[in-house]
């Protein structure tokens, strides 16, 4: 075992350091790296601490990944994404077993990511798994179960570039009407509400009557994905739908089965309806895309659509920007010297709207043709 006069020496492939602490006691500590330059930097940091009179932190008992998983999952048990985090830790256990968490170096995590890629797992999924692990290790530092230095090393891991999200929506009224006609009777109002509000599936199935304000014409969501409440106005179509839905005062759910229980999932009935309507590669969440896309194509500003969708960042809504070619055309016209539009008038451009019917006869047995998209910016 060769020693270095600089206070560094090797054990196998890993560099170790020796130094005298602020009390004059000789210390031996692993640098946890095979890179000599990094090891030298850590030794310099320790010597700086000695000069400042800082004593080394007490030893931390090694903690296994399984024990960290137990503690961390208990900590996030109240969060909406806890089921996904459990799924992530199941993969960690499958690949790694139960190693001590201080051994999860950048090299180890890069090997894990490479294996997951070889299993045909997408970059976005791997990024979410790494985010879960990094957050768990950050909590371990807060709980004095892991050295801060060990967690800070993992900042070297950069996220994979993720592909743009898919944007599938109903191309027009004919597709929407075919879908609605293929839905079972109880499913139709759910699908129609999704098209006219852009609500997520969980928000729809968990909707209760105390959130529906028929007096003022609003759906007031208290529990959303980002944790922020938002209000959605009822247009004429939804007013008619909701007016005929409540048949039992003892059931709090807006959408429920004959026994009064909320619908837990609509995936299979919805897939059957899509198949019957001839729609391919269409999921329930695409109804939310349909809501946003139709509004953008009818000239509703991105900021308004963002508020209706409950996006915390305008970047999420920008994916729909290309669907408003008329708006883009009007924008570049302000540079035309012969254009009568000034910059100020461009900022308040409003597209002329027509009153063509939208989703005529969407609800079975209805003779009314009031089913229209609400085109108000408010």
Give residue 100's pLDDT band: very low, low, confident or very high (50, 70, 90): very high
Tell me whether residue 3 is in a domain: no
Give the C-alpha distances (Å, rounded to integers) separating 210 from 81, 138, 218, 226: 25, 39, 11, 21
The tens digit of pLDDT for each residue in 174-188 reads: 889 999 999 999 999
Question: In whole numbers, what is the pLDDT of the chain averaged over residues?
Answer: 81
Cα–Cα distance, 373 to 298 (Å, whole number): 9
**Among residues 103, 124, 156, which one ends one of the domains?**
156
Cross-sheet strand order for the sheet of 218-221: 212-213, 218-221, 230-233
Q: Averaged over 348-376, what is the pLDDT?
A: 38
Q: What is the pLDDT of residue 60?
A: 63
Kindly state whether residues 190 and 322 are assigned to the same domain.
yes
Cα angle: 359, vertex 365, 367; to 5 degrees: 65
Q: Averaged over 2-29, what is the pLDDT?
A: 81
Give residue 249's pLDDT band: very low, low, confident or very high (50, 70, 90): confident
Kindly state whether residues 119 and 255 are assigned to the same domain.
no
Kindly state whether residues 47 and 73 are assigned to the same domain.
no
Owning domain of residue 118: 65-156
Question: At 316, which CATH number?
Answer: 1.10.443.10
Cα–Cα distance, 219 to 207 (Å, whole number): 9
Kind of pairing between the strands at 218-221 and 230-233: antiparallel
Kindly state whether residues 112 and 194 are assigned to the same domain.
no
Place of tokens 């695409």: 286
**Residue 145 in this model has a pLDDT that exceeds 50:** yes
Number of domains in the chain: 3
Kindly state whether residues 228 and 337 are assigned to the same domain.
yes
**Among residues 130, 156, 182, which one ends one of the domains?**
156
Predicted TM-score of the model (pTM): 0.57
Tell me whether residue 15 is in a domain: yes
Cα–Cα distance, 56 to 41 (Å, whole number): 16
Q: What is the pLDDT of residue 165?
A: 65
Cα–Cα distance, 185 to 44 (Å, whole number): 72
Q: Give the number of C-alpha atoms closer than 13 A to the C-alpha of residue 261, restricted to the C-beta side.
A: 4
Q: What is the pLDDT of residue 152?
A: 82
Lowest mean pLDDT among 153-157, 196-200, 254-258, 367-371: 367-371
Q: What is the pLDDT of residue 248?
A: 83
Q: What is the pLDDT of residue 160?
A: 85
Kindly state whether residues 149 and 238 are assigned to the same domain.
no
Q: Averaged over 60-82, what is the pLDDT?
A: 88
Give residue 96's pLDDT band: very low, low, confident or very high (50, 70, 90): very high
Tell me whether residue 128 is in a domain: yes
Cα–Cα distance, 375 to 378 (Å, whole number): 8
Q: Which residue has the higher pLDDT, 338 or 61?
A: 61
Which are the contacts of 67, defined by CB distance < 8 A and separation ≥ 6?
none
**Residue 359 in this model has a pLDDT that exceeds 60:** no
**Among residues 131, 156, 181, which one ends one of the domains?**
156
């Amino acid at each position: 075992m060769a020693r270095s006069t600089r206070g560094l020496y090797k054990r196998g492939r890993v560099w170790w350091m020796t130094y005298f602490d602020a009390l004059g006691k000789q210390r031996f500590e692993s640098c946890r790296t095979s890179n000599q330059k990094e090891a030298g930097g850590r030794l310099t940091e320790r010597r700086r601490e000695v000069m400042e009179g800082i004593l080394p932190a007490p030893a931390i008992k090694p903690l296994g990944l399984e024990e960290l998983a137990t503690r961390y999952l208990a900590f996030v048990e109240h969060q909406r994404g806890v089921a996904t985090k459990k799924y992530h830790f199941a993969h960690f256990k499958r690949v790694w077993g139960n190693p001590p968490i201080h051994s999860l170096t950048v090299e180890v995590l890069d090997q894990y990511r490479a294996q997951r890629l070889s299993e045909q797992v997408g970059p976005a999924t791997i990024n979410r798994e790494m985010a879960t692990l990094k957050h768990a290790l950050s909590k371990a530092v807060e709980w004095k179960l892991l050295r801060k230095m060990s967690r800070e090393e993992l900042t070297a891991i950069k996220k994979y570039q993720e592909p743009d999200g898919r944007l599938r929506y109903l191309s027009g009224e004919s597709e929407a009407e075919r879908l609605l006609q293929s839905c079972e009777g109880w499913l139709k109002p759910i699908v129609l509400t999704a098209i006219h509000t852009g609500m997520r599936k969980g928000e729809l199935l968990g909707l209760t009557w105390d959130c529906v304000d028929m007096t003022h014409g609003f759906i007031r969501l208290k529990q959303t994905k980002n944790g922020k409440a938002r209000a959605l106005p009822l247009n004429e179509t939804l007013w008619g739908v909701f007016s005929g839905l409540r048949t039992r005062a003892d059931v709090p759910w807006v959408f429920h089965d004959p026994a009064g229980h909320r619908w837990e999932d609509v995936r299979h009935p919805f897939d059957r309806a899509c198949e019957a309507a001839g729609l391919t590669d269409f999921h329930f969440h695409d109804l939310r895309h349909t809501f946003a896309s139709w509004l953008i194509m009818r000239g509703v500003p991105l900021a308004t659509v963002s508020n209706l969708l409950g996006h915390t960042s305008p970047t999420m809504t920008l994916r729909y920007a290309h669907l408003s070619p008329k708006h883009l055309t009007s924008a570049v016209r302000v540079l035309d010297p012969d254009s009568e539009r000034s910059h100020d008038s461009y900022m308040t451009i409003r597209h002329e709207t027509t009153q063509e019917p939208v989703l005529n006869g969407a609800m079975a047995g209805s003779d009314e043709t009031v089913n229209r998209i609400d085109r108000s910016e408010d």
